[in-house]
Chains A and B, each alone.
Chain A
């Protein structure tokens, strides 16, 4: 995609949904009504405290003027005005929707896929087909809405990084109204907003503490840069522009976590990429905020303007990925909390760990497989290297720092009783299941090679597929 096309796409993505104005206005009405009550309470308190009146005098004066009744009457008028205006706006929005576009989900309607499926299964068999068609239409529409909300949030925080939680919530509610999100999704999206706010604050705080780029670099990555670098702050990312291939390779290989020695081969391998997003960081609150750019030549030869829309696009991608991953993680965590016993908790816990593992190890392993495939290495050799834990000298143990982090976080939140259960699940997903995934992926690669696919073809086919989906993708390819 050309830079111009990306720019145009971004402009298009930033434009709001036609019904969003209506939904946002409804949110403002609620806010105004709540503020009215807050204000009147504050005014009453200050009036009483300024007067210095005793509780008896306050009680008598309130009775004298029927304060509570008068207050209730005014508040009733506020509620009536708010409701009346909301209804009118909804009517306008519905009419607009009906005349301008066909939307399978009406404004304000809730569409819960799981509930709908249960209804369909209970329906008489001759009605099922029609219900299923209707369901599909709504389902696709809602999925589009989720994608649009994510895009909208990503674009909005780029334009206004200091977006408040209330503003975030307003946007989530606005989209919920249009696309029928249920309260669980709204809450998950809100948790995500708090995650964003936390990361944005962490980025700002780190920058305030370390205004000097080289010092900030050292704090983030644990080593002083050898070459010239500069760091640009994004809404929730640090964009590090490196001119020294060794510096870049150390970031590329997360060497401050894995302890991997960076030699000529690694520098050459890392040097083929133009940029990378790294999850680990020495400051826990800043995990997932580091984006590095590999520059050929000095900073003077490569002014930031040259990165232009590519940088914006990469940053959007980074935020979008974090949102998507966090949303999936939160979904699994909520399921975990909702479950009443271990039998029902195990599945969401495993799912949660798999999602964490995907960004921290699977994606990395995928890069390694494809890189070594190009160099003509044996896939089983790659599997063996990736499997060696750091404690036994392995330099590809991407999950080393996350094992303890996950166990500690769960124990802190749910108590010591849960430790053994979490440790076992982590051991299973981060070791056994991970190793099985690596082996299955390697076998899938070998199958493609055996079927005479060229390395370039294999890279093209698998580069966008998650590592654990490789066997299925390959099997489909070879048996079609």
Chain B
């Protein structure tokens, strides 16, 4: 049975939506990653500060 254009388009559209959802999740995780790096920077600064003070 041959594949029809509309069925192909339907599948492409579903795949595109899934990919967009994935990209949104990755953006959220990237945000968490950046926050973690920021927290890490602060922890390093704080440790350096403590070392300096002592």
Residues of chain A having any CB pair with chain B under 8 Å: 18-19, 21-22, 25, 28-29, 32, 36, 39-40, 43-44, 47-48, 51, 53, 57-58, 60-62, 64-65, 67, 70-71, 74, 77-78, 81-82, 85, 88-89, 92-93, 96, 99-102
Contact = CB atoms under 8 A, between A and B. Distances in A.
Contact of B7 (A22, A78, A85, A99): A99
Contact of A48 (B19, B32, B36, B44): B44
A96 B21 CA distance: 20
- Residue picked from A58, A67, A71, A96, most chain B C-beta under 10 Å: A96
Given A81-B29, A93-B11, A101 B44 contact: no
Contacts of B47: 53, 57, 60-61, 64
How many interface residues does chain B have, given as a range?
20 to 34
Contacts of A25: 15, 18-19
Given A57-B51, A78-B29, A101-B1, A71 B36 contact: yes
Nearest to A59: B47
Nearest to B38: A47
A51 B47 CA distance: 11
Given A22-B15, A32-B26, A102-B1, 5 more contacts: A21-B15, A47-B44, A64-B47, A71-B36, A101-B2
Contact of A44 (B1, B37, B43): B37
B53 interface: no
Nearest to B14: A92
A44 B15 CA distance: 33
Contacts of A96: 3, 7-8, 10-11
B44 A21 contact: no
Interface in B1-54: 1-4, 7-8, 10-12, 14-15, 18-19, 21-23, 25-26, 29-30, 32-33, 36-37, 39-41, 43-48, 51
Contacts of A43: 33, 37
Contact of A77 (B10, B21, B29, B43): B29
Interface of B: 1-4, 7-8, 10-12, 14-15, 18-19, 21-23, 25-26, 29-30, 32-33, 36-37, 39-41, 43-48, 51
B32 to A, nearest CB: 5
A82 B43 CA distance: 31
B18 A92 contact: yes
Contacts of A40: 33, 37
Contacts of B32: 74, 77
A96 B30 CA distance: 32
Given A21-B15, A102-B1, A67 B36 contact: yes
Contact of B15 (A53, A62, A81, A89): A89
Instruction: Say whether chain A's binding surface is mostly helix, strand, loop, or mixed.
Output: helix
A99 to B, nearest CB: 7
A61 B48 CA distance: 9
A78 B26 contact: yes
Contact of B1 (A18, A65, A92, A100): A100
Nearest to B45: A51
B44 A51 contact: yes
Contacts of B36: 65, 67, 70-71, 74
Contacts of A92: 11, 14-15, 18
28 contacts: A18-B8, A18-B11, A22-B11, A29-B22, A32-B26, A40-B33, A40-B37, A44-B37, A47-B40, A51-B41, A64-B46, A65-B36, A65-B39, A65-B40, A67-B40, A70-B36, A74-B32, A77-B25, A77-B32, A78-B26, A81-B26, A82-B22, A85-B22, A88-B18, A89-B19, A100-B8, A101-B1, A101-B3
Given A92-B14, A92-B15, A74 B33 contact: yes
A51 B51 CA distance: 14
B29 A74 contact: yes
A350 to B, nearest CB: 44
Nearest to B11: A96
A64 B26 CA distance: 26
B51 A85 contact: no
B7 A81 contact: no
B40 A44 contact: yes
Contact of A21 (B3, B4, B12, B41): B12
B36 to A, nearest CB: 5
A47 B41 contact: yes
A254 B38 CA distance: 66
A51 B12 CA distance: 47
A18 B22 contact: no
B33 A65 contact: no
A307 B53 CA distance: 80
